[in-house]
């Protein structure tokens, strides 16, 4: 992450990433693994059909250009108004699922036509939808876990990792080219062309900031539609309304985004453009931006590991505010390239081996599955211990995968 | 000299290609092939769907960046899964013009063996250069 003075600093599309508002979403259920296990295959197969994934997938929500503009402006609220979610989902989303400086006039036609059919889609790569189990020994902070809706050993939860799809990717691409002219205009030297930037207050900087917010809102909406589809899938498989299954959103948090926030620097409050790329916001208890529900406990942080080893739920701290502009890690990170992983393991055999270990996986691409093998990732527990011991977020619960949908 | 090779361990979460061509047209066609083969097993693509691309730029490297980005745009906006391309680049008044014909299929998850949904072409280490043997490029794509 990096933060720059909001008056004299810069904004960098490459410092945010092409997948604008790539993020995580965690949903509870009141089902235990014992109840889910007999129906696990049916559940994952249903989710695989309900949430399109992989190259060129289209979502089930069909919108026209006017409606897509509303999505750019309203994010999650648009979905809830259209019946794709619950009112309570909104406050359990970073920035309440809507960034209010979105400016659709700064978005290209190309970006719109790339993303208009992709609401409610996962994509591929390291994006996934995962069913996970909370074992009693993995509840590190029972009080905070309870505040987040995790209260019973062997409780099953659902995690989603995806972003703004082709829409955000195109906005990133468009502005990388725009900023190429900008660095010359403002005489800015960059070491890596990928990190080209513009003064935040320049026309180009503000144009990108407005377009980026459109992509961020689309990503909130994308994950909101996916949540709706997850609830529908559970209702179908368990023949019980999602409300009765207590399928509450724990939180939705972005890990590729830039925002103006107020932070204390050398004892003075200052407005800074916080770039979080592969970095999660980690606001502490009492932060005014958090909804009432989490004001006392602090902000939930969702950190994904590999599909074989597990993921974590943590909580934000004061120390993160003091030391890292209210930010922490976003995932375990790779230790092996995609090509190297594919040389060591085949998708089909990995799928079978995981099933033997109790993780049922459905994937559009078998080579894509091999690339995501657990051995290609760092040890998630080590990453979590590091951020926990550094004090920039605190462990709450570890989540163990039992089912996975991949692109 | 092959058409391209994947360079391991340059961008661990992404994919880096070193691309070769006897001439500029060949370099661009091989770069497109790298994108196509990263997206799907092209043996499962018939190649009956056609799309044309016309682009202009004041340098060859921005032209390549735009061309490859255009292929990703066509994948999402026109559902085009590319198999091969025919590229023709001309230069006049310091401007490079590209015309390309792309042959592929409409994406069909039942028919095609799909691989990665490439997010974007990055500028990280991006390079186009004249070599002793012809032309070479270095491209990292975001997966």
Q: Which two tokens stand for residue A186?
A: 């403002």
**Domain encompassing residue A371:** 2-406
For residue B12, give the nearest of A123, A124, A334 by CB distance. A334
pLDDT at position B93 over 90: no
Q: Which of A15, A27, A68 is nearest to A243 (CA)?
A: A27
Q: Which residues of B touch A166 (CB under 8 A)?
A: 72-73, 75-77
Rg (Cα) of chain A, in Å, rounded?
A: 20
Nearest to A280, CA basis, from A262, A295, A299, A293: A299
**Neighboring chain A residues of B111 at a CB cutoff of 8 Å:** none
Buried b (16+ CB within 10 A) or exposed e, A114-148: bbbbbbbbbbbbbbbbbbbbbeeebbbbeebbebb
CATH number of the domain where residue A171 is located: 3.90.1860.10
| Residue in A164, A337, A321, A129 with CA at minimum distance from that of residue A256 | A164
Residue B21 distance to chain A (closest CA, Å): 23
Residue B1 has pLDDT above 80, yes or no: no
Residues 6+ apart with CB under 8 A from A278: A17, A255, A256, A329, A330, A331, A333
- pLDDT for residue A127 is more than 90: yes
Residue A217: the pLDDT is: 98
Closest CB to B77 among A114, A338, A364: A114
Q: How far apart are the first and last CA of chain A?
A: 28
Asked if A154 and A32 touch (Cβ cutoff 8 Å), the reply is: yes
Q: What's the pLDDT tens digit per position in A282-302?
A: 999 999 999 999 999 999 999
Cα–Cα dist A235/A272, whole Å: 44
Where residue B12 falls among pLDDT bands split at 50, 70, 90? confident
Cα torsion B64, B66, B67, B72: sign = positive
Summarize pLDDT for A24-70 with one digit per residue, the tens.
999 999 999 999 999 999 999 999 999 999 998 999 999 999 999 99
Q: Which CATH code fits B4-142?
A: 3.55.10.10
ipTM of the complex: 0.96
Judge whether B83 is closer than 8 Å to chain A, CB to CB. Answer: no
Which of A145, A168, A120 minimizes the C-alpha distance to A301?
Answer: A145
CA distance B2 to B47: 23
Tally A–B CB contacts below 8 A. 118
Q: Can you say how many angstroms the Cα of residue A400 is from the centroid of all Cα atoms in its chain? A: 18
Q: CA-CA-CA-CA torsion for A388, A89, A21, A225, nearest 10 degrees? A: 130
Confidence of residue A313 (pLDDT cuts 50, 70, 90): very high
CB contact under 8 A, B76 and A407: no
DSSP tag of A142: H
Give the nearest partner residue to A194 out of B62, B115, B122, using CB atoms: B122
So what's the pLDDT on residue A56?
A: 86
Smallest Cβ–Cβ distance between A364 and the set B13, B109, B142 belongs to B109
Give B35→chain A minimum CA distance, Å. Answer: 12
**Cβ–Cβ < 8 Å for B106, B79:** yes
**pLDDT > 90: percent of chain B:** 94
Chain A nearest-CA distance from B72, in A, is 9
Q: Once rounded to an integer, what is the mean pLDDT over residues B86-110?
A: 96
Give the residue on A whose Cα is nearest the Cα of B63.
A177
Q: DSSP string covering B36-58, please? A: HHHHB-GGG----EEEEEEEEES
What is the residue-wise DSSP string for A55-124?
A: TT---S----HHHHHHHHHHTHHHHHHTTSS-HHHHHTBGGGG--TT--GGGS-HHHHHHHTT-TT---S
User: Which residues does residue B4 pair with via DSSP β-bridges, in sequence order?
Assistant: B19
Instruction: Say if residue A174's pLDDT is above 90.
Output: yes
Computed over every residue of chain A, the mean pLDDT equals 97
Task: Kindly state the percentage of chain A with pLDDT values over 70.
Answer: 100
> Residue A398's pLDDT is what?
98
What three-state secondary structure class fits A25?
strand
Please answer yes or no on whether A338 and B15 come within 8 Å at the CB atom. Answer: yes
Interface test with B, best of A163, A169, A373 (most B CBs within 10 A): A169
Question: Closest to A192 (Cβ–Cβ): which among B65, B79, B124?
Answer: B124
- Give first-to-last CA distance, chain B, whole Å: 26
Contact status, residue A407 vs residue A122, Cβ threshold 8 Å: yes
Q: CA of B59, closest CA in chain A: separation in Å?
A: 12
| Number of structural domains found in chain A | 1
Q: How far is B92 from chain A (nearest CA, A)?
A: 21
Best CA proximity match to A22, nearest among B120, B97, B121, B96:
B120
Grade residue B9 by pLDDT with cuts at 50, 70 and 90.
confident
Is residue A397 classed exposed, middle or buried when 0-12, 13-18 and 19+ CB atoms within 10 A define those classes? buried
Are the beta carbons of A125 and B62 separated by less than 8 Å? no
Catalytic residues of A: 330
pLDDT, mean of residues A82-105: 98
Q: Do A166 and B72 touch (CB under 8 A)?
A: yes
- Using an 8 Å CB-CB cutoff, list chain A residues near B119: 18-19, 123, 125, 169
Across A251-260, average pLDDT: 98
Q: What is the pLDDT of residues A374-407, one digit of tens each?
A: 999 999 999 999 999 999 999 999 999 999 999 9
Taking only residues 40 to 69 of chain B, the set having a beta carbon closer than 8 angstroms to any beta carbon of chain A reads 40, 62, 65-66, 69
């Amino acid at each position: 992450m990096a933060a720059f003075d909001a008056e004299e600093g810069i904004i960098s599309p490459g410092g945010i990433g092409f997948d604008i508002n790539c993020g995580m979403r965690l949903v509870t259920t009141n089902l235990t693994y014992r109840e889910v296990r007999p129906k696990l295959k049916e559940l994952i197969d249903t989710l695989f059909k309900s949430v399109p994934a992989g190259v060129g997938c289209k979502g089930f929500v069909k919108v026209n250009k006017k409606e897509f503009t509303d999505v750019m402006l309203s994010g999650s609220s648009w979905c809830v108004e259209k019946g794709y979610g619950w009112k309570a989902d909104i406050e359990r989303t970073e920035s309440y699922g809507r960034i209010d400086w979105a400016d659709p006039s700064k978005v290209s036609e190309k970006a719109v036509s790339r993303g208009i059919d992709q609401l409610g889609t996962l994509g591929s790569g390291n994006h996934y939808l995962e069913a996970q189990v909370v074992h009693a020994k993995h509840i590190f902070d029972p009080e905070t876990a309870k505040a987040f809706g995790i209260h019973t050993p062997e409780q099953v939860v659902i995690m989603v990792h995806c972003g703004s799809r082709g829409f955000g990717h195109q906005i990133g691409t468009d502005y990388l080219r725009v900023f190429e002219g900008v660095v010359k205009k403002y005489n800015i030297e960059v070491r890596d062309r990928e990190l080209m930037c513009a003064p935040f207050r320049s026309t180009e900087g503000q144009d990108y900031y407005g377009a980026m917010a459109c992509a961020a809102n689309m990503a909130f909406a994308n994950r909101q539609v996916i949540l709706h589809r997850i609830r529908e899938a559970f209702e179908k498989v368990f023949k019980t309304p999602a409300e009765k299954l207590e399928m509450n959103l724990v939180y939705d948090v972005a890990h590729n985004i830039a925002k103006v926030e107020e932070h204390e620097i050398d004892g003075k409050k200052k407005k800074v453009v916080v770039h979080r790329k592969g970095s999660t916001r980690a606001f502490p208890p009492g932060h005014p931006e958090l909804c009432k529900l989490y004001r006392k406990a602090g902000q939930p942080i969702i950190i994904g590991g590999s599909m074989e080893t597990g993921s974590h739920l943590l909580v934000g701290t004061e120390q993160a505010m003091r030391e890292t502009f209210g930010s922490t890690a976003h995932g375990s990170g790779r230790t092996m390239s995609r090509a190297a992983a594919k040389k060591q393991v085949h998708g089909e055999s990995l799928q079978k081996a995981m099933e033997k270990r109790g993780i049922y996986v459905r994937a559009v691409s078998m080579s894509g599955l091999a690339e995501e093998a657990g051995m290609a990732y760092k040890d998630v527990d080590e990453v979590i211990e590091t951020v926990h011991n550094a004090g920039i977020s605190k462990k709450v619960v570890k989540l163990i995968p039992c089912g996975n949908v991949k692109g | 000299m092959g058409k391209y090779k994947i360079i391991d361990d340059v961008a661990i979460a992404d994919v880096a290609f070193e691309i070769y061509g006897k001439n500029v047209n060949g370099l661009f066609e091989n770069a497109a092939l790298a994108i196509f083969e990263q997206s799907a097993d092209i043996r499962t693509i018939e190649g009956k769907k056609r799309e044309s691309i016309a682009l202009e730029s004041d340098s060859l490297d921005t032209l390549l960046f735009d061309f490859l980005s255009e292929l990703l745009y066509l994948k999402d906006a026109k559902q085009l899964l590319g198999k091969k391309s025919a590229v023709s680049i001309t230069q006049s008044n310091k401007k490079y013009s590209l015309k390309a014909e792309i042959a592929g299929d409409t994406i069909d998850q039942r028919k095609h063996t799909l691989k990665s949904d490439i997010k974007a072409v990055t500028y990280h280490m991006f390079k186009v250069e004249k070599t002793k043997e012809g032309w070479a490029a270095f491209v990292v794509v975001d997966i």
